[in-house]
Amino acid sequence: MVDWTEKYRPRSLSELRGNDKAVEQFREWADTWDDHREAVVLHGSPGVGKTSAAHALAADEGWETVELNASDQRTADVIERFAGRAANNETLGGASGADDTGGRQLVILDEADNIHGNYDRGGAGAITSLVKSAGQPVVLIANDYYDMSRGLRNATREIEFRDVGKRSIVPVLRDICRKEDVEFDEDALEHIAERNAGDLRGAVNDLQAVAEGKDRLTEEDVVTGGRDTSMGIFPFLDLVLKEGDSAREALQSSYDVDETPDDLTKWIEDNMLKVYEPSEAVRAYEHLADADVWLGRVRASQNYSYWRYAGDNLSAGVAAERDETKGGWTRWGRPQFYHSSSNAADDVVRKIATRGGFSMATARRDVLPFLAEMTHHCKPRELTVLMAAAYDLDAEHVSFVTGSGETTNKVESIVEDAEELRAERMEEHSGGAFAGVPTTAESADGDDDGADQATLADAGSAGSGAGGERAAETPDADAADAGDADPEAADEDDDQSGLTDFM
């Protein structure tokens, strides 16, 4: 079976749908490469056409391509032997890659935001060196620009590819149907485009899944067919608590979301009051209580077939008690498990208490929820890096505070940047690591870290009332001395709740 995403991949930038501004910037980068000789990063959500754009540009320019894809090992050795050789004007066989007519090779490094961590030992540094010295054009492909190392970001130009709109996706699907001799209902194509929410590649895959082998495609085919997809927790909350048209739709979403029923119950419970009226919430809590009963039976009997009944209550039951749809945008917060026996929770609380001179109770009750809110899902990223550096948090700790997956590239890259930042501060302060936070730009690469740190300190002070005033009056050295005391024995008075000290 031929993959339609490859069969109908754009052969020229002029065939690329959507992202006209990004395409124009990319073309301008290529046309002026001899003048600036910079590498470029194409970043954006999966499926929006980044890799297709790179290959289409090479075809337009008459350049050969050398690609290091996601299946390759990202060690310094691999990068230097393959991508490095190509970027320095040599073919993989070792001969000169530039002919007498001045031909170019476009070096494409896919998933550049995945190049870090122990598995990629030395890979990030090798790529940073490569893009600074390359004799050929280099394109990096990334989903999340800020998952790349700071050094690599500073060494490249960036172009953002945005999600492809429905109006751009439908014509692509229409064109493919005509080339495949498949008649179609317009509503069917629009349904596919809406379901994929900006992911053009996903829309083409869905089209192939439901249309291949058919003479005609109807909307019913699309509703009952298509790829198996996984729903994220935030769309799930939107569907159950705000936007779903029926309890059946909410129930179906609970099957698609990648979370267990016990975790979904906590998500629903902690976020429901943000949108439900009191009368709705009273009725919905009855269903959550029923879900908890079924979860108790699962724990007691280890019979996980009972999960189904918990899922019925937490999704369809809760959604059925909503009197109407809820408009506007809601910031969902991850469940707060601060009273659990989790080692990660205890470690984080202890680090906060020791660093800020707080009691354990104050750190757990007042400071930790504040940090979790400020860095929810690692956004803003620079703020999360500062927090991880200030408290010397590892990946497990950052994951706990922000609600992000411990092994995700995002969390790992934040921990790496935090370690780098701590090392810089140790050198600057002659061993007094993070004894005080500079409020002016002091980083070695001349970025705006200082401004970010000042903002974080201000936010911390504003977030704790009288505690912020106390922190302003207490020198950093005093705060450090206070942290030497046993945090379990520290006083729990409100004047210990200042948040400025944590920096």
Query: Rounded to whole angstroms, how far apart are CA atoms 464 and 496?
Result: 10
Pick the range with the lowest mean pLDDT from 121-130, 146-155, 266-275, 293-302.
121-130
Q: What is the average pLDDT across 474-489? A: 40
- Phi/psi of residue 309, each to 5°? -70, -35
The two beta strands, 183-184 and 156-160, are: unpaired
- Among residues 32, 20, 95, the alpha carbon closest in space to that of 64 is found at 95
Q: Specify the higher pLDDT residue, 336 or 29.
A: 29
Q: Cis ω on the peptide bond leading into residue 10 (within 30° of 0)?
A: no
pLDDT of residue 445: 44
pLDDT higher than threshold 90 for residue 50 = yes
Spatial contact of 107 and 86, defined as CB atoms under 8 Å apart: yes
pLDDT higher than threshold 90 for residue 369 = no
Query: Rounded to whole angstroms, how far apart are CA atoms 501 and 475?
Result: 9
326's CB contacts (< 8 A; 6+ apart) are 241, 242, 243, 275
Q: Cis ω on the peptide bond leading into residue 380 (within 30° of 0)?
A: yes
pLDDT of residue 227: 54
Nearest-5° angle of CA 258, CA 263, CA 265? Answer: 115
Q: Specify the higher pLDDT residue, 420 or 485.
A: 420
Q: Which band of pLDDT confidence, cut at 50, 70 and 90, is reported for residue 36?
A: very high
Question: Which range in 71-85, 121-135, 212-226 is most confidently predicted, on average pLDDT?
Answer: 212-226
Q: What is the average pLDDT across 373-396? A: 88
- Among residues 348, 473, 331, the alpha carbon closest in space to that of 400 is found at 348
pLDDT higher than threshold 90 for residue 161 = yes
pLDDT of residue 278: 87
Residue carrying structure tokens 């060494």: 155
Pick the range with the lowest mean pLDDT from 8-22, 219-233, 433-447.
433-447
Note every long-range contact of 267-271, with CB atoms under 8 Å and residues 24 or more positions apart, other chains counting: 267/233, 267/236, 267/237, 267/332, 267/334, 267/335, 268/237, 268/240, 268/241, 268/314, 268/318, 269/335, 270/333, 270/334, 270/335, 270/336, 271/237, 271/241, 271/330, 271/332, 271/333
Q: What is the average pLDDT across 143-152? A: 82
pLDDT higher than threshold 80 for residue 359 = no
pLDDT of residue 226: 53
Fold match, 4-160 / 166-224: no
CA atoms within 13 A on the CB side of 97: 24
Query: pLDDT tens digits, residue range 226-276?
Result: 555 556 788 888 889 988 777 878 887 787 776 778 888 888 988 898 899
Q: Which band of pLDDT confidence, cut at 50, 70 and 90, is reported for residue 363?
A: confident
pLDDT higher than threshold 50 for residue 94 = no
CATH superfamily of 4-160: P-loop containing nucleotide triphosphate hydrolases (3.40.50.300)
pLDDT mean across residues, the chain: 74
- Among residues 171, 204, 167, 501, the alpha carbon closest in space to that of 362 is found at 501
For the record, the structure tokens of 29 come out as 């980068």
pLDDT of residue 89: 57
pLDDT higher than threshold 60 for residue 124 = yes
Q: Beta-carbon neighbour count of residue 18 at 10 Å?
A: 20
Q: Is the dihedral of CA 129, 130, 134, 139 positive or negative?
A: negative
pLDDT of residue 86: 54
pLDDT of residue 107: 86
pLDDT of residue 429: 59
| Topology of the domain comprising 166-224 | Helicase, Ruva Protein; domain 3 (1.10.8)
Query: pLDDT tens digits, residue range 279-332?
Result: 998 999 999 988 888 888 877 777 777 787 888 889 989 999 998 888 777 888
pLDDT of residue 338: 37
Domain ranges for the chain: 4-160, 166-224, 233-320, 343-502
Q: What is the average pLDDT across 173-190? A: 93
For the record, the structure tokens of 125 come out as 């540094």
Query: pLDDT tens digits, residue range 189-218?
Result: 998 988 887 889 888 988 988 888 889 998
pLDDT of residue 461: 40
pLDDT of residue 182: 93
Task: Count Cβ atoms within 10 A of the Cβ of residue 48 and give its class: 0-12 exposed, 13-18 middle, 19 or more buried.
Answer: buried
Residue carrying structure tokens 């600074």: 132
Pick the range with the lowest mean pLDDT from 48-52, 59-63, 435-439.
435-439
